[in-house]
A and B are shown apart, each in its own frame.
Chain A
Amino acid sequence: MSAAADPADRVPVGQGGAWRHGWGLARAHPGLFTVTVLGYVGFYSLPLANGLILKAVFDRLSGHAPAGLSVWTLVGLLLGAQLLPQLVLFGANAAWNAFAYAMEAMLRRNILGFLVAAPGPKRLPASVGDLVSRFRDDAQAVVWFVEAWVDLSGLIVFTIGALAIMASINPSVAAVAAVPMVLIVFLTNHLALRIHHYRRINREATARVTGFIGETFGAVQAIQVASAEDRMLRHLEVLNDARRKAAINDQIFNAMLDTVSNNMGRIGLGLVLLISAGALRQGSFSVGDFTLFVAYTGFASVGPQWIGRLLARRRTAAVSIGRMEAVLEGAAPYALTAGGAGVRPIADPAEALETLVVRGLTSTYPGTGRGIENIDFTLRRGGLTVIAGEVGAGKTTLIKALIGLIPIQTGEILWNGALVADPASFMIPPRCAYTAQVPRLFSESLRDNLLMGLGEDDEAVTRAITLAILDEDLAGMDGGLDIMVGSRGVTLSGGQLQRAAAARMFLRGADLLILDDASSALDVRTEQLFWSRLLDGGGRTCLVVSHRPEAYRRADEIILLSHGQVEARGTLESLLETSDTFRQTWRDITHAGEAR
């Protein structure tokens, strides 16, 4: 793969974007940033005194400067000048640590907050395992970029000071000492270009490994029953190997960056030896001057090295920012590092639902041709609308498009006649609540899972649980509402999971309830109870995907979807009369009756 051929190398964040993002992070923590920078400026510039004191010591010894402080005083001063920066560093480092963790948290907060609460449909650009690595490694890459600012600000002060002092002693030797510094900036900048490329490849290879590990353990039961462990491991080995190669390329160029600077410093020192030999012999350049030049030249290469490192880290950060911004599709520019973005807990209260009109709704998955096209329907307060249709007919797509989980290409949604501009932020509690086909719970207590931050008391939770017919199950659970449901709710059975998710929906107190096949894992008695408790309570408006006769019988309207379009609609009776497809469907789901 060549560098130029890959579009990701031309990420728009490239020039200056990383700076602005870094600045956004710094501005959000002004105190920590300032203390860190000042601390590092102190830490790096205080050693300028060392060179001067060492020079004085050797000048005294060589007899070049017979007057002045005694050698012993100078040695004492040298000790002090070495110890003081350590105290400064202690404080600076503490501030930096706090700053670094705060920056990482802020990046996570902005991404996660966007995903869970920002307007508009959200599409995850990669596997969950890959995304977890973006939260970890890519966030850290940006933090390291800011770290380079901090170090560099201190080193710039030192380098300017060192050059000034050296120039005041012997301008021509100082000029020679400065030559390698310029070279380092050029060399490291060139290397950094390569580093950018290899770092990106390395990150992608890493993401593939973490993504695959995540998927594997997410599907561990399926793998074990299929005895596919060895095959999964072989695939992991392939991905591991690709990552090893990518990582080594990445590391080699980074090592070159680091060592080139150090050794350039030594070469600079060699040049100082060449140039100063004559002056030393003539006596115009003292041994003390020589020791000062050696001390400064050795360390002065660190500054240019950090310039290279800064540029390298900027490129790395740009890649990482690109990967993080890919998650923030449709967000405002620089939302990644914008401060103060809070998450609105729930939608503003709106007028109660009277009618919900959907007109010409079209939503297709790019590239697949799957989706829904030009769907119209109307929901009325208290009504039950059932969406029917075969696999791939677009039932789930319709529901997800309606509540803004996936994008709509055309069409409009009218809530009591008013246009819904952004379904994602409008079709949520307290207006609308939803239970997915395969709902997810989280590793928290059952209570926390159901409440999801609502302030309701246990009585309300219990009511929702009764409504969802989870009450009997709950009575059998150790710890009741405090039971931990395990990773993804795994300690609950499939039916319990669906009913828990339904209870979570009921707790939202929404006007409109949307259920995607929520009763599929329920047995008959439970399901009958479910529907009667849901619908006989009165007043609830429901939009439901179902294949159950019970739902069809109770429906005010059935919408039969086929290949993403409405094929027929009406009540059960009228559809049985008018639609051949529906009659077939009905026979399929009720042919159980013939068995009697």
Chain B
Amino acid sequence: MTRSPAKPLGFTQLLKTYLAPQAPRVVILAALLFTGVGLQLLGPQILKRFVDSAVPGPAALPMATLWGLAGLYIAAALLTQAAQVATTWFSEQVGWTATNSLRRDLAAHALGLDLTFHNAKTPGELIERVDGDVTALATFFSQFVLQILGSGLLLAGILILITVQDWRVGGVMTVFAAVAAFAISRVTLIGGPRWTAERQARSEMAGFLEERLGGLDDIRANAGGAHVMRRHAAISASLNHAGRRAGRIGMAVNAAINALYAVGLAIALIGGVLLFRRHEVTLGTVYLFVQYTGMMAMPLALIGMQLQQFQSAGAGLGRVRDLQAIASRIVDGPGLDLPRRPPGVTFRDVSFAYDAAAPVLRDVCFDLAPGETLGLLGRTGSGKSTLIRLLFRLYEIGEGAILIDGQDIRRATLAQLRARIGVVTQEVQLFEATVRDNVTLFDPALSDARVLEVLEDIGLGPLLARLPAGLDSDLTAGGLSAGEAQLLAFARVFLRDPALVVLDEASSRLDPATDRLVERAMDKLLSPTPGAPRRTAIIIAHKLATVRRADRILILDHGRVAEWGDRATLASDPASQFAGLLRSGVEGVLQ
């Protein structure tokens, strides 16, 4: 996966990127299109023949020929049907294959962005950006070029066939078609920004709904329903406004096309009547003019519709481009050979701020030897979680450097870095997927036996026994208690067997019995095993029991290191903050 900002795509690059792999299908599609155009042009020719040869007179043909013409007309209709269905199948294949690739690429891009981006976007908004906007592009892929091409061909065919009948009428109609096409494209172009606004409003609505549905319990239990409904009304109103503004332009285009068609019909009829009265054309030819003019409305309308779709797609594409143009603030490193053994961790004068005004970490320095455990302490908001996020490069540090085994983490690729660190956070993210996928995070390479072993080991055996299909059972929302979810997070870490582990307030919400399970898991995680040295660990601890595991203590206060040193030394130094904490006689929790 590349993390460098993908180059924003224009329409042509978009077509090239996503249609080139489907060249054979595109060729078949084009062939079907030509067939369709030919069949459509045939119809009026048959009708002209029919009119001229049915009326009694010198041009009259035998009845059998007339019936033959009628049969030919019906056969053309059947063929058209077959061609149209085949065209749909191919164009949908092309469209969906292309947009699915685009969806994937966008999701990949967004997943590669750092948390600065994700904190500002709700998952609902991203659903709209990765799926909604791309869906708006789908018709562009499957139809735009073909429809424009097909409509252009049909239009050209009509004009040529009229000219063959009479060059003067053909000339006038050609001028008319050019004027009409120009007028339609002008009217259509006004709509672009309006469609952008409509899609933006839709995405806001999706974001709003996603968040409120996720926090339903909070809303209901605090009687916040009326407030939510008022907000919904406000967002609905702006969506309504944006949609109607965009719709009005659509109508204007429609009306323009139809009005132009009316004028075209009048012109064709006038020309036909004049020539017929001078006996230069037959009545059938006049009718042919009327028929072909009527047929011109469709390609013109289609071109207008496609331009409109193109705009709607353009709005979607603009937003796709915006998303692609957002570069992660984190630039992937060139790559570094990090050994599997437990690393040392060094923070050298690390400063960081989410926004420039309020620094969260200031000049943080510490040094952790391989296999050591660091107890990280501090009030809420003192910067503990931020420190951990920097270690993972979820954010880019402002100043200073973080070293692993003496190497700057910015030189490693993110994948290399993160593969070496395991983390258990307080909030455990679960997916609507099988237990197996939830534990392995969709990694099919891990064997069932290994997954089962880890789950049993961690104390989730009873959970598995409860589930009807074991590992393949679907995990539904609310199916796990908070403690079970916590243990599941431990299982994820054990499966990956990292050399450096981070436990972020991991045990703070657990009841005593699960706490014992977690303690056991921690023991296992932090003890050397035959053949594997002790892992390096950073623990954000609230409990003295956890702190006792630490070799080193780091106390953060308002983003600064308030105290740093050897746990035993600090504990025995009555002047240290740490000793003061121990003395304060507060059970269970640490400042």
Contacts and interface: CB of A to CB of B under 8 A. Distances in A.
A505 B221 CA distance: 9
B441 A231 contact: yes
A83 interface: yes
A200 B515 CA distance: 46
Interface in A404-454: 404-405, 424, 427-429, 432-434, 436-444, 448, 451-453
B556 to A, nearest CB: 11
Interface in B133-181: none
B124 A592 contact: no
Interface string B282-303: 0100110010000000000000
12 contacts: A93-B250, A112-B212, A213-B131, A214-B124, A221-B115, A227-B414, A248-B89, A256-B85, A270-B73, A428-B220, A438-B482, A523-B379
Given A113-B229, A232-B442, A443-B208, 8 more contacts: A94-B248, A132-B209, A210-B131, A247-B96, A266-B76, A440-B211, A524-B591, A592-B587
Contacts of A357: none
A92 B1 CA distance: 51
A405 B225 contact: no
Residue of A85, A217, A473 with most partner-chain B CB within 10 A: A217
Per DSSP, chain B at the interface is helix
Given A86-B255, A128-B210, A234-B442, A527 B218 contact: no
Contacts of A473: 381
Contacts of B426: 494, 521
Interface in B392-435: 392, 394, 414-415, 418-419, 421, 423, 425-429, 431-433
Interface in A377-405: 388-393, 395-396, 400, 403-405
Contacts of A223: 111, 429, 441
B38 to A, nearest CB: 15
B214 A128 contact: yes
A87 B252 CA distance: 10
Given A71-B273, A504-B222, A102 B240 contact: yes
Contacts of A211: 432
B380 A496 contact: yes
Given A101-B239, A112-B232, A220-B111, A281 B443 contact: no
Contacts of A452: 219, 222-224, 227
Interface stretch (A3-11, A116-124, A165-173, A318-326): A116-124
A523 B126 contact: no
Contact of B63 (A212, A277, A347, A495): A277
A217 B441 contact: no
A179 interface: no
A521 B211 contact: no
A391 B111 contact: no
B291 to A, nearest CB: 8
B206 to A, nearest CB: 5
Nearest to A269: B73
A215 B432 contact: yes
B13 to A, nearest CB: 21
Contact of A227 (B51, B415, B482, B547): B415
A478 interface: yes
Contacts of B123: 128-129, 213-218, 487
Contacts of A132: 124, 127, 206, 209-210, 213
A131 B477 CA distance: 13
Contacts of B534: none
B282 to A, nearest CB: 10
A346 B221 CA distance: 10
A365 interface: yes
B119 A524 contact: no
Contact of B221 (A133, A231, A433): A433
B10 interface: no
A280 interface: yes
A576 interface: no
A368 interface: yes
Interface residues of B, number: 174
A219 interface: yes
Interface in B1-36: 1
A346 B224 CA distance: 8
B41 interface: no
Given A61-B273, A259-B85, A495-B381, A225 B421 contact: yes
A373 to B, nearest CB: 16
A267 interface: yes
Interface in A100-122: 100-102, 105, 108-109, 112-113, 115-117, 122
A61 B505 contact: no
B92 A248 contact: yes
A524 B67 CA distance: 97
Contacts of A578: none
A86 B421 contact: no
Given A75-B269, A132-B206, A217-B118, A248 B219 contact: no
B419 A439 contact: no
Nearest to A250: B92
B482 A391 contact: yes
A194 interface: no
Contacts of A255: 84-85, 88
Contacts of A216: 107, 111, 123, 431
Contacts of A343: 225-226, 229
Nearest to A258: B84
A263 interface: yes
Interface in B249-270: 250-252, 254-255, 258-259, 261-263, 265-266, 269-270
Contacts of B59: none
A116 B229 contact: yes
A79 B60 contact: no
The 5 closest A-B pairs by CB, nearest first: A391-B483, A453-B227, A495-B380, A440-B215, A82-B262
A109 B239 CA distance: 14
A428 B214 contact: no
B271 to A, nearest CB: 11
A175 interface: no
Given A71-B273, A78-B265, A290 B247 contact: no
A443 B262 CA distance: 52
Contacts of B76: 266
A487 B120 contact: yes
Given A127-B432, A226-B492, A523-B589, A390 B215 contact: no
B576 interface: no
Contacts of A109: 229, 232-233, 236
Interface in B328-386: 354-355, 357-358, 378-381, 385
B43 interface: yes
A317 to B, nearest CB: 20
B226 A345 contact: yes
A393 B70 contact: no
Interface in B45-99: 47, 50-51, 54-56, 60, 63, 66-67, 69-71, 73-74, 76-78, 80-81, 84-85, 88-89, 92-93, 96-97
Contacts of B524: none
Contact of A508 (B124, B222, B428, B510): B222
Interface stretch (B189-197, B309-317, B318-326, B578-586): B578-586
Given A225-B418, A524-B590, A428 B466 contact: no
Given A217-B118, A526-B379, A259 B84 contact: yes
A207 B243 CA distance: 24
Nearest to B52: A287
Interface string B450-484: 00000000000000001000000000011101111
A488 B394 contact: no
Given A277-B54, A438-B427, A525-B379, A443 B122 contact: yes
